[in-house]
């Protein structure tokens, strides 16, 4: 089984809808991240969490919110989806004790907002 | 702020060709540098790393040397294979405990 899982893998939604992307991990890592990937722009950090009570905005947090329900779960919400949020979204984890630079990525969620 | 710039892709090579993907960075301190690889349909995975100047990271036949004087971390491989087709990301790890990624370079290897 995959160590970092994301659900759903693909989602098509309409403008204005609320949508939640979920991430779960079995690696026992304390740190979790949400990124979005757009062609030609690489990965951009949306939110990150160093533990359950520590959540921080990344470089592109506007229009998104997150919840760290447990050490193993970190969800990303789009309160009112808009077309320019169409992208590939990745969750990642890392272990503070092993150097947070080695991040383990989930398989991604492809989100299309029409 | 800190940033990473990679050579634009896509890059297309024949099998057994020599590969170079250029990466330069801007940073206020002395970051650690990384190459991540994304195979089709998958998330990113760490390929190699270098944590200080003149360090050479290597893995799976790929190498990159941390050059502080030119602020570069170019990825090289002597003989590429079809299975190396992927998107490659250069990244730096800054003091704020976050990875900063370049825009990615898509590599296609033809048999």
**B3-6 vs B23-26, strand pairing mode:** antiparallel
Using the Cβ of B32 and the Cβ atoms of chain A, whether some distance falls under 8 Å is answered with yes
pLDDT in single tens digits along all 114 residues of chain A = 569 999 999 999 999 999 999 999 999 999 999 999 998 778 999 999 999 999 999 989 999 999 999 999 999 999 999 999 999 999 999 988 776 678 899 999 999 999
pLDDT tens digits, one per residue of B45-96: 999 999 989 999 999 999 999 999 999 999 999 999 999 999 999 999 877 6
Confidence of residue B28 (pLDDT cuts 50, 70, 90): confident
Q: Which residue of A has its CA nearest to B41?
A: A107
Q: Under an 8 A CB cutoff, do A45 and B98 touch?
A: yes
The pLDDT score that the predictor gives to residue A102 is 84
Tell me the chain A residues in contact with residue B23 when contact means C-beta distances shorter than 8 Å: none
Per-residue CA distances from A108 to A4, A85, B52, B54 (Å): 10, 14, 31, 34
Contact by Cβ (8 Å): B7, B105: yes
Query: How many Å apart are CA A66 and CA B101, to the nearest integer?
Result: 22
pLDDT tens digits, one per residue of A10-42: 999 999 999 999 999 999 999 999 999 998 778
- Neighbour tally for A84: CB within 10 Å: 9
């Amino acid at each position: 089984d995959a160590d970092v899982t994301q659900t759903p893998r693909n989602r098509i939604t309409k403008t204005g809808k609320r949508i939640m992307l979920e991430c779960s991990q079995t690696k026992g890592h304390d740190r979790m991240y949400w990124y979005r990937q757009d062609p030609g722009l690489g990965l951009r950090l949306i939110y990150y969490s160093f533990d359950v009570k520590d959540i921080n905005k990344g470089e592109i947090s506007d229009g998104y919110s997150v919840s760290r329900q447990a050490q193993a779960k970190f969800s990303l919400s789009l309160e009112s989806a808009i077309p320019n949020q169409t992208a590939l979204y990745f969750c990642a984890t890392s272990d503070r004790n092993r150097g947070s630079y080695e991040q383990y990525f989930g398989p991604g969620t492809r989100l299309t907002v029409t | 702020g800190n940033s990473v710039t990679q050579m634009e892709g896509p890059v297309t090579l024949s099998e057994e060709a020599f590969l170079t993907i250029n990466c330069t960075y801007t940073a206020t301190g002395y970051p650690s540098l990384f190459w991540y690889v994304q195979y089709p349909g998958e998330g990113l995975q760490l390929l190699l790393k270098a944590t200080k100047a003149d360090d050479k990271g290597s893995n799976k036949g790929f190498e990159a040397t941390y050059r502080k004087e030119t602020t570069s971390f170019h990825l090289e491989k002597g003989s590429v294979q079809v299975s190396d087709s992927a998107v490659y990301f250069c990244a730096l790890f800054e003091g704020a405990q976050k990875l900063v990624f370049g825009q990615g370079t898509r590599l296609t290897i033809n048999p």
